[in-house]
Structure 1
Amino acid sequence: MTQPTHDEAHGGSLGSRLNWLRAAVLGANDGIISTAGIVVGVAGATSDRQTLLTAGLAGLLAGSMSMAAGEYVSVSTQRDSEKAALELEKRELREQPEAELEELTGLLEERGLTRDVAREAAEQLTERDAFRAHARVELGIDPDDLTNPWNAAWASFLSFTVGALLPLLAILLPPSDWRVPVTVVSVLAALVLTGWVSAGLGAADPRRAVLRNVVGGGLAMAVTYAAGVLLG
């Protein structure tokens, strides 16, 4: 028999890493689009570099802090729900172990095992570690690897900041007449890349992801630039 590969043996951790990577790509994508909309809109109203810098930095900081805070609250809520579900499972195992054993047997049957095999497997899992068996099979939770809200917050903050730096630098570095064209081209190129990567991580059609990214980012810049020109 062939030995399992490292990824096969740790499929859960691999899936978790892919989810974090996908979230980082999407966070960078948000940073690119939102900051590009701000700086291009302001560039439509004024060519003053200091004003563009102020607007871009304000958008970068506000967006990154908002992403971090939102992710922290969301993941904290998820973590609280996971902990509550685990505590309930502990109590049920203490108070009605036979019913929990029968429940585990039924869950294993639903996964394709025969009744006898499912019962034997449930008994062995219960003898080894009933709590972790129910947590993983019944709840789909690894009690040793709960979601961390601080990791999620920092990941969102950093990914948004990295994405936002591209349009900010693109609007500040070129000469005045080239600022908007350089920013638009740079942003659209970056959106092609993030759309392609996010689709690849999700095993989806990259053409649709790229098209959505480019159309959405292009529309955001066009609307804010038009507003800037009218207001300016």
Structure 2
Amino acid sequence: MRAAVLGANDGIVSTAGLVVGVAGATGDRSALLTAGLAGLLAGAMSMAAGEYVSVSSQRDSEKAALAVERRELREEPEAELDELTGLLAARGLSREVAREAAVQLTRRDALRAHARVELGIDPDTLANPWHAAGASCLAFTVGALLPLLAIVLPPASARLTVTVLSVLAALALTGWWSARLGSAAVRTAMVRTVGGGALAMGVTYAAGSLLGAAGA
């Protein structure tokens, strides 16, 4: 959920910056729509590809660690049992209880026990790069649709105002939600997201206005 909120936030900010920048140079609706769609597609594909590569690397690392653990359990079972005992004891169990727990966990599923306690990995729920890529792509797209629709649907006279206000409101909401998910300070998160979005739109609009004036 937190990754989805952050992905949507990225979609809002990047697309809003793009369309507001183009709006600073031209008021042509087709140009705004083209730029917004191009930014949405490029951003969504970039997010999906980046997440796929990142999570694939994480999954490969997890699988490699599990392979090493599987080999060590096969070649040095007693040493691995001692290691598991020590890890459990380090978590606050007495040595005797830790040893008994290690023995029972090893009998039940040695690889899963070591993966969870030693590596912090659940062998049954390894990261799925396709799921991560799809979620990132969808979240970015949903976020990007707001500024895109806000810039092309209203009449020209209200276009910029509607876009800025709707984007800032959406950023305030994502800041609030991300803070709640992370148990962080709500006001700080909202100020950070709204301030960052406002700065991005201000910079791109100024750049678009200058380029539009220069090309006139």
TM-score normalised by length of structure 1:
0.91
Quick check: 1:44 aligned with 2:9? Answer: no
Name 2:133's counterpart in structure 1. Answer: 153
Amino acid at match of 1:113: L
Equivalent residue of 2:124, what SS? coil
Aligned-pair CA distance for 1:129: 1.0
- Write out aligned runs for 1:149-188 (5 A): 149-188=129-168
Partner Cα separation in structure 2 for residue 105 and residue 98 of structure 1: 11
Partner Cα separation in structure 2 for residue 172 and residue 144 of structure 1: 46
The equivalent position to 1:88 in structure 2, one of 43, 68, 71, is: 68
Amino acid at match of 1:119: R
Quick check: 1:141 aligned with 2:118? Answer: no
RMSD across aligned positions (CA): 0.4
- Write out aligned runs for 1:1-232 (5 A): 21-232=1-212
Partner Cα separation in structure 1 for residue 81 and residue 100 of structure 2: 10
Partner Cα separation in structure 2 for residue 185 and residue 129 of structure 1: 56
Residue ranges of structure 1 left out of the alignment (5+ in a row): 1-20
Partner Cα separation in structure 2 for residue 199 and residue 227 of structure 1: 32
Aligned-pair CA distance for 1:127: 1.1
Percent identity of equivalent pairs: 78
Amino acid at match of 2:49: A
Partner Cα separation in structure 1 for residue 61 and residue 27 of structure 2: 50
Spell out structure 1 runs of 4+ moving beyond 4 A. Answer: none
Between Structure 1 and Structure 2, how many residues are aligned? 212
1:100-141: CA deviations, max 9, x gaps? 000000000010001111011111111111111101111111
Amino acid at match of 2:57: T
Partner Cα separation in structure 2 for residue 165 and residue 129 of structure 1: 47
Amino acid at match of 1:132: R
Partner Cα separation in structure 2 for residue 230 and residue 130 of structure 1: 66
Residue ranges of structure 2 left out of the alignment (5+ in a row): none
1:179-224: CA deviations, max 9, x gaps? 1111000000000000000110111111111000010000000000
Partner Cα separation in structure 2 for residue 179 and residue 173 of structure 1: 8
Amino acid at match of 1:55: A
Equivalent residue of 1:155, what SS? helix
Farther off after superposition, 24-33 or 123-132: 123-132
Equivalent residue of 1:144, what SS? helix
